Amino acid sequence: MARPGDASRGVYTPDAARAVPSGSGSGAPSTEKIPDPFITPFKDEEKKSRKWKKVLFFLLGILILCGVGGGLAGGLITKKKADDAQAAANPAAGDAGNDSGLYDKNSAAVKKLMNNKNLHKVFTGMAYTPMNTQYPDCLNLKPLQNNVTLDLAVLSQLTNVVRLYGTDCGQTELVLTAIDKLGLTDMKVWLGIWLDNNQTTVDRQISQFWNIIDKYPSTNIKGVVVGNEVLFRKDLTITALTKYISDVKTNLTSKSINIPVATSDLGDNWTAELATAVDTVMSNVHPFFAGVNVEQAAGWTWDFWTSHDVILTKGTSKGNVISEVGWPSAGGNDCGGPACTSSTAGSVAGISQMNTFMSTFVCQSLTNKTDYFWFEGYDEPWKVQFDTPGQAWEDKWGLFDVNRNLKSGLTIPSCNGQTVTSS
């Protein structure tokens, strides 16, 4: 489900807070001084937003007067809606106290988030896309190391494993740095390489991935996911996809790095041919999109996964993971294809439904050792542009809002004290 976009940027550091991304300009860092860039929202972005609103309304007026504004204006409004949602999310939640520079496990802002009695380490994995890591938006509104560090501080109380979808905007480096700063020795990451039908994007993602592999030890790297839902989107053929997978496996072997290589796709897009090419079969299985009533969702997920995907690895040593499973907190309902006849038919998005699904899936998965990634840790406001009337859930799959607040009314299962084991 993630659409990470299309970008290239190095690690966010104090000295490179306003550095020009490689390949997009002079490459020289800006000399502009920003007050406390790690904890303060970008004021210049707010000014730009106000200017943009004025320009937008002026342009819309001209378009409407000219009689050609309908389609284009609608597109602009949709894009602006997404931008406003992103800007409304405080990009620096958390009180810095007396801290300065990069946060670590001893920072007041980090300690404030830790030991939350409402959080329990019961998820075998968590899907995570850091804030502001979509290209080209991240060239102007950059992701911040401290935001990612605070995000990971919260997620570390839920899981030992996070999954990323791509390498753009320095997101992988930010996550690995956060793990180091927080001293999360048990935390592992499934790295992501985003693949689509744009060769420039693919080449850049792969290049960035190898730079990361060469720069960081594999201590906290659990594996790599080469592409997400590539076959579902029909961006690549199985032949092309397996070639990328094979190349990654070969190059990792040449570097004496022994980590599993996978790809993730919809559960019913997996074939025996694709399963042969990977070390781990990773299936995105969403009962919500099947139109399943939430009371039956956990059982449906298990039945679908075992009959469509687990069966492909029977008799082998290959791993099998549900690479996405979750439930949105609001936005309407889905009946699995046909139009819903009422607002309560099929799969209904809501907090109570999220609670029901978690209470029937999470602890049971610990008991039967089902490996999965919950989709997802945090809401992604930028996805509001993909919402449609009656189906406005794209940006509402997180357990937390973007300011790291557990959604009101949501209850993380305690599983009677049972927790995930070290990765």
Provide the 10 A C-beta neighbour count for residue 203. Answer: 10
CB 2 within 8 A of CB 228: yes
Residue 46 is a catalytic residue: no
**d(C-alpha 157, C-alpha 153), whole Å:** 7
Catalytic residue among 32, 45, 46, 229: 229
Burial readout 335-359 (b: 16 or more C-beta within 10 A, e: otherwise): beeeebeeeeebbbbbbebbbbbbe
CA proximity to 187, closest of 178, 200, 199 = 178
**Token pair in block for residue 202:** 């693919």
Residue 229 is a catalytic residue: yes
**Token pair in block for residue 357:** 């699904």
**d(C-alpha 403, C-alpha 85), whole Å:** 13
CA proximity to 148, closest of 116, 186, 176 = 176
Residue with tokens 């000399």: 31
For residue 63, give the H/E element and its range.
helix 43-66
**Token pair in block for residue 74:** 């609608």
Q: Would you give the DSSP letter of residue 111?
A: H
Q: What is the 3-state secondary structure (H, E, C) of 32-51?
A: CCCCCCCCCCCHHHHHHHHH
Instruction: Please give the backbone phi and psi of residue 232, each rounded to the nearest 5 degrees, phi first.
Output: -60, -45
**d(C-alpha 189, C-alpha 251), whole Å:** 19
**d(C-alpha 168, C-alpha 139), whole Å:** 11
Catalytic residue among 32, 45, 46, 324: 324
Annotated catalytic residues are 229, 324
